[in-house]
């Protein structure tokens, strides 16, 4: 049911784009107004979520990862799992962001036919996620050529590296293959594995199908319909210079379908689980030093509590301690 609704929503987006552009001729709406609205919603929603998270109370610095904290000199500290300095916190964060380290070490537990508990390494999930995220990132980098003039050297260089193979007189961008392959494999994993399918919701399927549609329409423009790249760049440069002009020459309908899906993703992004892209940097289990054995941390919302010395404690409770026979340092 959830998969069907998600697929229907994606098809509705495509149908609206087709009707608006092909039948009603609303190219200015779908080529100018919609991208601006989508980008504004994305930026405002993104900032709102970040600000809202930043106001949330942060708990004690309780270590939530394995590995030895810094304590006594003769005990070896695990600086990556339990960093005690900002520098090692950054190292741990970079390993998480760039290599999905926690996902790499993820495992699942299953009961065998003999009733034993067996653990399996989730290596395929890690590999599919790595393919998708890195493919998505470098595809965005490659698209910077549409929004810059002149095109930065690093973008041109990356295009040459990425498009080392050619198909139908067009460069086959490897990151595009990684993006489509990774998102497709993640989608199939969610559909074909019974346990994963059982817990999957609409907001699990929808972004997967949305991004899959973006990747497919993007490849269709390059290898099948051969969209007018010069006209698309003219339109994109109009967005960034705030002088939008819809090109007089026809742009492939596939482009408007692609653009409608991208705009839908931008609008949906701040209110979805995709915000984990920013949330990872605000996770207390990743951005805090685990130094609770070196420093005393007190929650700022705790009420003021007077800390008794033992001498003050004994002065306050001397009579009660004497009555129950507890030893006293000063029996006056």
For CA atoms 25, 31, 33, 34, the dihedral sign is positive
State residue 3's pLDDT score. Answer: 92
The tens-digit pLDDT sequence of the chain (332 residues) is: 899 999 999 999 999 999 999 898 888 999 999 999 999 999 999 999 999 988 887 766 666 666 677 777 888 888 888 888 889 999 999 999 999 988 888 777 676 677 666 667 778 889 999 999 999 999 999 999 999 989 899 998 888 888 877 766 677 888 999 999 999 999 999 999 888 899 999 999 999 999 999 999 999 988 888 788 888 999 999 999 999 887 766 788 999 999 999 999 999 999 999 999 998 888 877 888 888 777 777 777 777 777 778 888 888 888 898 889 888 887 76
119 bridge partner residues? 109
Q: Length of the chain, please?
A: 332
Which residue is it, tokens 């994305």? 42
Q: 209 and 6 in contact (C-beta within 8 Å)?
A: yes
> What 3-state class would DSSP assign to 285?
helix
Tell me which fold the domain 2-301 belongs to. Fumarate Reductase Cytochrome B subunit (1.20.950)
Is the CB of residue 176 less than 8 Å from the CB of residue 219? Answer: yes
Query: Which residues, 6+ apart, have CB-to-CB distance to 171 below 8 Å?
Result: 159, 162, 163, 164, 165
Peptide bond into 231 cis (omega under 30): no
* Rounded-to-integer distance, Cα 271 and Cα 46, Å: 8
The predicted structure's pLDDT at residue 63: 63
Rounded CA Rg of the chain: 28
Domains of the chain, by residue range, sit at 2-301, 306-332
């Amino acid at each position: 049911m959830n998969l069907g609704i998600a697929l229907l929503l994606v098809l509705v987006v495509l149908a609206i784009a087709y009707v608006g552009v092909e039948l009603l001729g609303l190219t200015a709406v779908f080529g100018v107004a919609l991208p601006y609205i989508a980008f504004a919603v994305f930026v405002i929603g993104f900032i709102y979520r970040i600000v809202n998270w930043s106001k949330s109370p942060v708990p004690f610095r309780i270590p939530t990862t394995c590995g030895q904290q810094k304590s006594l000199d003769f005990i070896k500290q695990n600086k990556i799992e339990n960093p005690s300095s900002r520098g090692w916190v950054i190292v741990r964060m970079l390993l998480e962001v760039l290599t999905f380290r926690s996902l790499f070490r993820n495992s699942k537990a299953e009961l065998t036919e003999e009733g034993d508990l067996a653990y399996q390494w989730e290596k395929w999930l890690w590999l599919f996620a790595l393919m998708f995220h890195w493919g998505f990132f470098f595809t965005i980098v490659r698209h910077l050529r549409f929004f810059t003039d002149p095109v930065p050297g690093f973008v041109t260089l990356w295009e040459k590296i990425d498009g080392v193979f050619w198909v139908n007189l067009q460069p086959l961008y490897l990151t595009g293959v990684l993006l489509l392959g990774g998102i497709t494999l993640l989608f199939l994993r969610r559909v074909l594995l019974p346990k994963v399918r059982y817990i999957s919701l609409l907001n699990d399927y929808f972004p997967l199908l949305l991004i899959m549609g973006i990747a497919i329409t993007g490849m269709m423009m390059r290898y099948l319909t051969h969209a007018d790249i010069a006209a698309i760049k003219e339109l994109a440069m109009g967005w960034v210079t705030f002088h939008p002009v819809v090109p007089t020459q026809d742009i492939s309908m596939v482009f408007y379908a692609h653009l409608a899906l991208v705009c839908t993703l931008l609008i949906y992004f701040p209110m979805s689980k995709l915000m984990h892209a920013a949330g990872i940097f605000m996770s207390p289990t990743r951005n805090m030093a685990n130094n609770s054995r070196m420093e005393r941390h007190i929650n700022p919302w705790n009420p003021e509590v007077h800390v008794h010395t033992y001498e003050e404690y004994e002065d306050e409770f001397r009579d009660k301690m004497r009555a129950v026979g507890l030893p006293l340092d000063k029996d006056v």
